[in-house]
Structure 1
Amino acid sequence: MTGAVSKLAAPRPAGAPPPPPASPSPSPPAAPGAPSCDAMASAKEGNGAPTKRTTLHDLYDLQGQSPWYDNLCRPVTDLLPLIGSGVRGVTSNPSIFQKAISTSNAYDDQFKQLILAGKDAESAYWELVIKDIQDACKLFEPIYDQTDGADGYVSVEVSPRLANDTQGTVEAAKWLHKVVDRPNVYIKIPATAECVPSIKEVIANGISVNVTLIFSIARYEAVIDAYIDGLEASGLSDLSRVTSVASFFVSRVDTLIDKMLEKIGTPEALALRGKAAVAQAKLANQLYQKKFSGPRWEALVKKGAKKQRLLWASTSVKNPAYPDTLYVDPLIGPDTVSTMPDQALLAFIDHGTVSRTIDANVSDAEGVYSALEKLGIDWDEVGKQLELEGVDSFKKAFDSLLGSLEEKGNSLKKTVSL
């Protein structure tokens, strides 16, 4: 790991050149117990010099899809080699921060200062997270500027404890947006039934949003409607700086439906394993094309509105029997984002195929979707179950981390009082 976060703290003056690539001077060794950011390590050449052209550059330049990195840990300057490799944004979630903070001592000094200044564990957690997000935003700001606000975003999620709290989510999103105070931050809001109205209100307040935990086409349509409703309700004459992505989860869909197909056990059912997620994603893209066209949308475009891009999330392969680029290669198309954790990112850089695939074989996708329905697979129920599991997973990660931070804080206070 290279670089020092402290170098990123000062804001870049308007018109100043973008930050240089990672310094070639020797860097201090990584802290013991630092989380393994495999893609970060493998992206480096020599002493952190800019890397050669990769398939990630081709993905964006030739097909218009933005590759993002689904991970974040300190020091965030470790992202520089990945940016050199073609990464154009970052997503984070409570599980990512739980891993980063609990397995590294890179946060210890700041945490100690916060606790000794009288902060409680949760307040300290948010300060740790906000610093990482602000520092990452500075690294991606040149991409944001070069694309006139179309790319170069860093996502941070509201507390997962608010997943069923409409107004609490709105207030948390406003607060996060205010304290991070970077133009290229996305506030992540889950696509729960309670938070779909939150999305509309937050967008109406001029705040850019990454809508997360979308598992079904029905819920995706509600998310698009919330975005468009929010733009219309904003009253803004210039909508160009209010943007959004809709994070449509992929691999988890196959994980659940494959189990259901194995339980059915017929040859027809077993032949559909590993096909549900990509089929549904392709149909989601068809819905995207339909919803972001026509007179209603065109009226917003005249005010500078940008389409809410589809973002493919959960792109790592869970079943080792499947190709490791299964959730990247078939979902490539213009004005989309693919956020990849280490495994998927490294696999795609190594042997991914750059070709427009998102609108290929759509009739096959429709066939898979309806064949699964005929077998008794209820897509809406699948979506609801995966949403519950996703929210629960993030809550557990959040609660676990806060518990360990509280213990750490209490022991620090005892040490000081001795």
Structure 2
Amino acid sequence: MHPISRARSCVSDENGIQMKKTVLHHLFEQQGQSPYFDNLCRPVSDFHSLIAAGIRGLTTNPSIFERAITSFNAYNTQFRELIESGNNIEDAYWELVVKDITDACKVFESLHHQSNGVDGYVSIPVSPRFSRDPNRTTEAAKWLYKKINCPNLYIKIPATIQSISSITELISHGISVNVTLIFCLTRYEAVIDAYIKGLEASTSTDLSRVTSASAFYISRVDSFIDEKLEKIGGPKALALCGKGAVAQAVLAYRLFQKKFSGSRWEALEKRGAKKQKLMWASVNVKNPVYSDILYVDSLIGPNTISTMPEQAFLAFMDHGIVARTINANVSEEAEAIYNGVEKLGIDWDGVGSELENQVLETFNKSFNSTLEFLEKKAKCF
């Protein structure tokens, strides 16, 4: 079954009409957290049912586009037309992606308007090939922003150290950004600072039209750290398994609260600036020993986004409980876990660097694999 249809079927009647409020509505209305869906494939009209179920935005990445383009025939007609019109393979790829994102932006546009620009965003990533080239990242982001031309578009920028300057420049030009691939607190703070500097550098008298989200990865962090803890062994190390990622996220939320308060931030708020929402990414649970909603129900709180792939979405719809949890794991406990991991010789910044490299490699492979698939398909015309 089409993955979005599978998700849709759990929230709609046979006519695709939402009958009552779901746990996702309660998540936003009671706790101020916005649930986003982490998937995309045609037809994007399927998202109307998910919006009715409480989904408030959409995220994508090169691996999502690889699955969509290589698995479904819905792209064949447009691709054939693009190739017969003289487009090369990479240009054709971006035309396919831009159409999906543009159409999705239109589906979420009314939600964006109703929320006064708080939600309803659809994210498109720049090419992963540019992840360590700030100039090309900035150029690609500006091109996508101009080409798609939708108010609810997020340009997705990786939080590599090289791309930090791109965040500031794009925000200063009024381009909303979803900063992705954040794995450690030091990089997260740099991302916040880049956003604030971008707002301060803007010449606009109304900053309310530009927003941002910062995607802090969760489950990948636990998988990486747990493997190291298991190798270390012993009661102290094993007792920390499955706790590090959430603890770091709790400390990230504390940092979020600190940075978006005080006189510097208040001066920007007077110009209409919105806080850069914390987005929890990579919330699918990879270890079957843990609860399948561990990374959703442990990180519920206001001014956050939980971006759910299908697995997490279906699990939370089935047995998720809405309650404020981001502060339940008080910062003292989170600090103890965080420091405990570090005392065992696991460097958090080092973890962040290794995971950043791993995921960038994955996204580059997906991007290149999609182009290779399209190259072969073009030869069949």
Fold in common (TM above 0.5)? yes
CA deviation after TM superposition for structure 1 residue 99, in Å = 0.3
Match of 1:350 in 2: 318
Q: Confirm or deny that 1:235 pairs with 2:203.
A: yes
Match of 2:376 in 1: 407
Give the length in aligned residue pairs. 380
Q: Distance in 2 between matches of 1:209 and 1:57?
A: 25
Q: Distance in 1 between matches of 2:161 and 2:112?
A: 31
Match of 1:318 in 2: 286
Match of 1:375 in 2: 344
Q: Deviations over 1:44-71 (max 9, x none)?
A: 3112112421100000000000000000
Aligned match for 1:288, one of 251, 256, 266: 256
Aligned match for 1:93, one of 43, 52, 61: 61
Contact 2:131 2:163 in 1 (8 A): yes
Amino acid at match of 2:315: A
Higher helix share: 2
Contact 2:112 2:152 in 1 (8 A): yes
Q: Confirm or deny that 1:258 pairs with 2:226.
A: yes
Amino acid at match of 2:366: A
- Structure 1 runs of 4+ aligned residues shifted over 2 Å read 34-38, 40-44
SS at match of 2:208: coil
Q: Distance in 2 between matches of 1:116 and 1:377?
A: 54
Q: Deviations over 1:331-390 (max 9, x none)?
A: 000111000001101111111110011112222111100111111110000000000011
Match of 1:8 in 2: none
Aligned match for 2:80, one of 91, 109, 112: 112
Contact 2:98 2:148 in 1 (8 A): yes
Aligned match for 1:142, one of 78, 93, 110: 110
Spell out the pairing of 1:136-215 with structure 2 (5 A cutoff): 136-215=104-183
Q: Distance in 2 between matches of 1:61 and 1:343?
A: 23
Q: Distance in 2 between matches of 1:258 and 1:339?
A: 23
Q: Confirm or deny that 1:272 pairs with 2:235.
A: no
Q: Distance in 2 between matches of 1:43 and 1:373?
A: 43
Match of 2:27 in 1: 59
Contact 1:51 1:81 in 2 (8 A): no
CA deviation after TM superposition for structure 1 residue 407, in Å = 1.4
CA deviation after TM superposition for structure 1 residue 167, in Å = 0.6
Q: Deviations over 1:288-340 (max 9, x none)?
A: 00000111111111100000000000000011111001000010001110000
Q: Distance in 2 between matches of 1:107 and 1:50?
A: 28
> Percent of pairs identical after alignment?
60
Match of 1:219 in 2: 187
Q: Deviations over 1:151-185 (max 9, x none)?
A: 11000000000001011000000000011110001
Match of 2:271 in 1: 303
Match of 1:365 in 2: 334
SS at match of 1:331: coil
Match of 1:13 in 2: none
The root-mean-square deviation of aligned C-alpha atoms, in Å, is: 1.1
For structure 1, the residue ranges without an aligned partner over 5 or more in a row are 1-29, 413-418
Contact 1:35 1:100 in 2 (8 A): no
Match of 1:133 in 2: 101
Contact 2:38 2:60 in 1 (8 A): yes
Q: Deviations over 1:258-312 (max 9, x none)?
A: 0000110111101111001100000000000000011111111110000000000
CA deviation after TM superposition for structure 1 residue 410, in Å = 2.2
Q: Distance in 2 between matches of 1:74 and 1:200?
A: 33
CA deviation after TM superposition for structure 1 residue 411, in Å = 2.3
Q: Distance in 2 between matches of 1:67 and 1:84?
A: 12
Q: Distance in 2 between matches of 1:340 and 1:36?
A: 12
SS at match of 1:245: strand
Structure exhibiting the larger radius of gyration computed from Cα positions: 1
SS at match of 2:136: helix
Match of 1:390 in 2: 359
Q: Confirm or deny that 1:39 pairs with 2:3.
A: no
Q: Distance in 2 between matches of 1:51 and 1:113?
A: 40
Contact 1:35 1:99 in 2 (8 A): no
Q: Distance in 2 between matches of 1:229 and 1:200?
A: 6
Deviates more, 1:250-259 or 1:264-273: 264-273
Q: Distance in 2 between matches of 1:69 and 1:62?
A: 19
CA deviation after TM superposition for structure 1 residue 35, in Å = 5.4
Contact 1:313 1:338 in 2 (8 A): yes
Q: Distance in 2 between matches of 1:70 and 1:36?
A: 10
Contact 1:173 1:187 in 2 (8 A): yes
